[in-house]
């Protein structure tokens, strides 16, 4: 079944009792994702849903495959995060189907904006920056209290390997030989990390803004691992936008520093916080390169910007930075 075919999805929903034959239902395909089919289901008399179905081959230029059973990891991740985050920051789980590899959750109420779209337009709201740092810190810090249960449930990291480590660090190391020693060490360090629940896709594109609240989406690579990956992954987006939106470079760099300060303040007493900033710097460098030379490249960067960013990061990898402030300073100089 292909849920992007409206008649197929409507027939499925009726046959499985999720809607009635007389209920007025509309479906709309949602754009933006490369790894899933995603459809909005509008109901007449109850909250709207989003239904997701995992693709076996991702929608990118290079071949990139992953078992669609990963959609059930995403459903489990949503249920786990519902226990951690306030209800206004996370959708509600609705149903799951193991035969067709799909699940449903409540849709984020309208009006809302994709945070990535707002940031690319140069709209940087410090309160949202702080809120996103607090949200990730809450996930990482809270899960330390449930380590045994969550490490067992999310201990399998095969989807993280297939969708992050290989296409980001592994593939990039084959494309950029000068970066291979750094990325090989980073791969080993990340695989050894076993401290917290890690979202694995903590990015502005996976966060919606509804009123003054951020709502977190997309949990298919959630796993028990190294929290520094989430931080480097997120900070890469702010630094790459500082590179791309030249007139807003200063505010983006300030936002990145504000975000990290907020996150480190909330997590400084955690047992895994020793040396955390240095680990975050290394993950940021790895992701900065991966997003211009890996399998999943940032579509808004021009080819010249991708080349400039790759050259800058390789130079920084040769003489790695210990603090994020130093990274920002040197990165800015190199891309300028």
For residue 26, the domain's CATH number is 3.30.200.20
Q: What is the pLDDT of residue 78?
A: 97
Beta strands at 113-114 and 207-210: parallel, antiparallel or unpaired: antiparallel
Could you report the per-residue pLDDT of 165-221, keeping only the tens digit for each? 999 999 999 999 999 999 999 999 999 999 999 999 999 999 999 999 999 999 999
Cβ neighbours of residue 73 closer than 8 Å, sequence gap 6 or more = 154, 156, 159, 219, 220, 221, 222
Give the number of other Cβ atoms within 10 Å of residue 34's Cβ: 12
Shared domain check, 178 and 223: yes
Give CA separation, 135 vs 52, 68, 129, 266, in Å. 24, 28, 10, 10
pLDDT at residue 332 greater than cutoff 70: yes
Expressed as residue numbers, the domain containing 167 is 113-335
Shared domain check, 102 and 117: no
In terms of Cβ atoms closer than 10 Å to its own Cβ (0-12, 13-18, 19+), residue 218 is buried
- CA 300, 108, 66, 185 dihedral sign is positive
Shared domain check, 246 and 278: yes
Which of these three, 52, 82, 106, is where a domain ends? Answer: 106
Give the number of other Cβ atoms within 10 Å of residue 291's Cβ: 24
d(CA 53, CA 103): 7
Structure tokens at 75: 């459903």
Out of 1-15, 32-46, 244-258, the most confident range is 244-258
Shared domain check, 189 and 245: yes
Shared domain check, 11 and 33: yes
Whether 286 is covered by a domain: the verdict is yes
Could you report the per-residue pLDDT of 228-267, keeping only the tens digit for each? 999 999 999 999 999 999 999 999 999 999 999 999 999 9
Shared domain check, 171 and 99: no
Q: What is the pTM of this model?
A: 0.93
Average pLDDT value for the chain = 93
Q: What is the pLDDT of residue 61?
A: 61
Whether 1 is covered by a domain: the verdict is no
Q: Phi and psi for 273 in degrees, rounded to 5?
A: -85, -10
Shared domain check, 127 and 86: no
pLDDT at residue 58 greater than cutoff 70: no
- DSSP-based three-state secondary structure for 326: helix
Whether 93 is covered by a domain: the verdict is yes
- Angle subtended at Cα 127 by Cα 272 and Cα 258, rounded to the nearest 5 degrees: 45
Q: How many domains does the chain have?
A: 2
Q: What is the pLDDT of residue 130?
A: 98
Shared domain check, 131 and 54: no
Could you report the per-residue pLDDT of 89-136, keeping only the tens digit for each? 999 999 999 999 999 999 999 999 999 999 999 999 999 999 999 999
Shared domain check, 220 and 289: yes
Give CA separation, 20 vs 14, 24, 51, in Å. 6, 9, 17
Shared domain check, 24 and 153: no
């Amino acid at each position: 079944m292909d849920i992007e075919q409206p008649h197929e999805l409507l027939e499925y929903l009726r046959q499985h009792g999720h809607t009635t034959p007389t209920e007025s239902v509309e479906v709309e395909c949602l754009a933006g994702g490369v790894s899933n089919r995603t459809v909005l289901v509008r109901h007449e008399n109850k909250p709207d849903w989003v239904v997701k179905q995992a693709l076996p081959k991702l929608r990118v230029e290079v071949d990139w495959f992953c078992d669609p059973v990963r959609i059930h990891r995403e459903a489990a991740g949503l249920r786990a995060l519902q226990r951690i985050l306030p209800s206004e920051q996370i959708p509600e789980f609705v149903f799951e189907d193991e035969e067709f590899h799909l699940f449903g959750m409540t849709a984020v109420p309208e009006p809302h904006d994709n945070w990535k779209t707002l940031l690319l337009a140069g709209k940087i709201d410090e309160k949202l920056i702080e809120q996103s740092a607090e949200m990730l810190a809450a996930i990482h810090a809270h899960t330390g209290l449930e380590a045994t249960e969550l490490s067992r449930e999310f201990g399998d990291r095969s989807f993280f390997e297939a969708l992050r480590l290989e296409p980001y660090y592994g593939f990039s190391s084959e494309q950029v030989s000068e970066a291979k020693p750094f990325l090989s060490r980073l791969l080993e360090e990340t695989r050894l990390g076993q401290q917290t629940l890690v979202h694995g896709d903590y990015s502005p594109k996976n966060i919606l803004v509804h009123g003054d609240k951020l709502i977190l989406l997309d949990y298919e690579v959630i796993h028990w691992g190294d929290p520094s990956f989430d931080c480097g992954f997120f900070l890469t987006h702010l630094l790459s936008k500082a590179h791309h939106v030249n007139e807003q470079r200063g505010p983006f760099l300030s936002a990145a520093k504000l975000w990290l300060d907020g996150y480190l303040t909330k997590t400084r007493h955690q047992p895994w916080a020793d040396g955390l900033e240095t680990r975050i710097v290394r993950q940021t460098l790895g992701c900065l390169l991966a997003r211009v030379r890996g399998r999943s490249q940032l579509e808004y960067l021009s080819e010249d910007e991708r080349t400039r960013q790759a050259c800058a990061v390789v130079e920084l990898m040769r003489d790695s930075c210990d603090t994020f402030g130093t990274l920002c300073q040197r990165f800015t100089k190199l891309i300028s």
